[in-house]
A = this chain, B = another copy of it.
Amino acid sequence: MVGVRQFDETRVIREALRLFSERGLSGTTMGDLAQASGVLRGSLYNAYGGKDEIFILAFESYTREVLTRFREALDRPTLREALQGAFTAAIRSIRGNAERRGCLTTRMALEDHAHQERIRAGLEHLLGELETMLAQALEPLCAAGDNRMPAPVMARLIVTFTRGLAVIDRIYDDGARLRGDADALLGLMCPQEA
C-alpha cells in the first residue's frame, strides 16, 4: 500500500450516522460531514465518491446495529418479557443515547431522495429482517400461551406500531408517552395479569 488514508474511517461513518439520523439525508451536507469528522470535503469525495455512497455505508452499519440490538432484546423466556424487550429496544433506538438521536429508518422512509429505489429497498430489507426475527422469536412463546393471534401477524403489527412510535416521538418528544403506548399494546397482546 503506497497511498495511505490518513483519517479514521470508522469515525466518518459514526459521525455520518449521527448527522443523517438527526438531520436526514438532504438535510446533511458534505460540509457537515467534513466538519463533524474532521476531514476535508475533497478527501471525502476522493475516498467515497459522494454523499450517497457515505449514506449507504452508514445505513449498512445501522442495519447491523439495530438487528443485533433486537436479537438480544427478544431473548426472553416468556411472551410478555419478549414483547417488553422488543418495545424497550425500539424506544431506546428511537429516543437515542448521548451519541445519537432519532430513528434513521423512519426518517429515511419519509424523505425523498435521488436514489429512492435503492434506499427503499434497504429499508424493506431491514424491516423484513426485523419482522422475520420477531416472528421466529415469538412463535414458540405464542404457542405456549392461549394466544389467538399468529406470531407472523403479531410480528408485522409490532413493526408497524414501532414505526408509529418514531413519528410520535418527533412530535411530542416524550418518552413516557411512548412507553404508555407500548404498554397499551402489550396489554392487548398479553391480557394475563402476571
Which A residues are closer than 8 A to B by beta carbons? 23-24, 26-27, 106-107, 109-112, 120, 123-124, 127, 148-149, 153-154, 156-157, 159-168, 170-172, 177, 180-181, 184-185, 187-189, 191
Residue of B nearest to A110 (CB): B110
Which residues from B are CB-within-8-Å of A157? Answer: 181, 184-185
Centre residue among A24, A106, A154, A159 by max chain B CB count within 10 A: A106
Interface contact A171-B123, CB-CB below 8 Å: yes
Interface contact A184-B27, CB-CB below 8 Å: no
Contact among B124, B181, B189 for A188, CB-based, below 8 A: B189
Taking the full assembly, how many copies of this chain does it contain? 2
Interface contact B149-A188, CB-CB below 8 Å: yes
Instruction: Report the Cα distance A24→B62, complex, angstroms.
Output: 24
Interface contact A171-B109, CB-CB below 8 Å: yes
Which residues from B are CB-within-8-Å of A127? Answer: 168, 171
Instruction: Report the Cα distance A67→B157, complex, angstroms.
Output: 25
Contact among B106, B172, B181, B184 for A167, CB-based, below 8 A: B106
Instruction: Report the Cα distance A164→B123, complex, angstroms.
Output: 14
Instruction: Report the Cα distance A120→B170, complex, angstroms.
Output: 8
Residue of B nearest to A165 (CB): B160
Instruction: Report the Cα distance A166→B165, complex, angstroms.
Output: 12
Interface contact A187-B112, CB-CB below 8 Å: no
Which residues from B are CB-within-8-Å of A24? Answer: 110-112
